Amino acid sequence: MGEEFQASKPIYLQIVDKVCHQIARNELLPGDKLPSVREMAIKSGVNPNTIQRTYSELERMAIVETKRGQGTFVTENETAVKELKFQLQRSIIEAFFTAMKDLGFSEEEMIDGLQSYIVEKQVSHDD
């Protein structure tokens, strides 16, 4: 019933990442209500305190808002959602760039590789 978590990163931060990715993919939309702490804990297979810490972190990041007596909701602040998407994009690009540099690829080779990959994906998607 619970999820698989990595031992190298605190569980609450892994759940924060999951929620952020759901927002970035528009699986969770601005104004959507998140499950209650208890529901999310059961669904994730973790202690409710872990989910409370997750929600507190998301609120600190201005990604969600807690409305007393109503629950926790995805922020309706479009700027905050755009900033979240931008930060996720930068993080992925940084990880890609670092990994490619570590393998000895030049910036030109990275760009060429990306362009080739995109063309291949477009061709296979059209089939």
Domain ranges of the chain: 11-76, 79-126
State the Cα–Cα distance between residues 93 and 56, nearest whole angstrom.
27
Angle at which helices 48-60 and 11-24 pack, to 10 degrees? 50
Is 127 a residue whose pLDDT tops 70? no
What value does the mean pLDDT take over residues 99-115? 96
Instruction: Return the ∠ at Cα 41 (arms to 71 and 36), rounded to 5°.
Output: 15
Tokens of 70: 């109503």
Average pLDDT taken over every residue of the chain: 94
The per-residue pLDDT for 125 is 74
The CATH classification number of 11-76 equals 1.10.10.10
The pTM score is 0.82
State the Cα–Cα distance between residues 118 and 14, nearest whole angstrom.
29
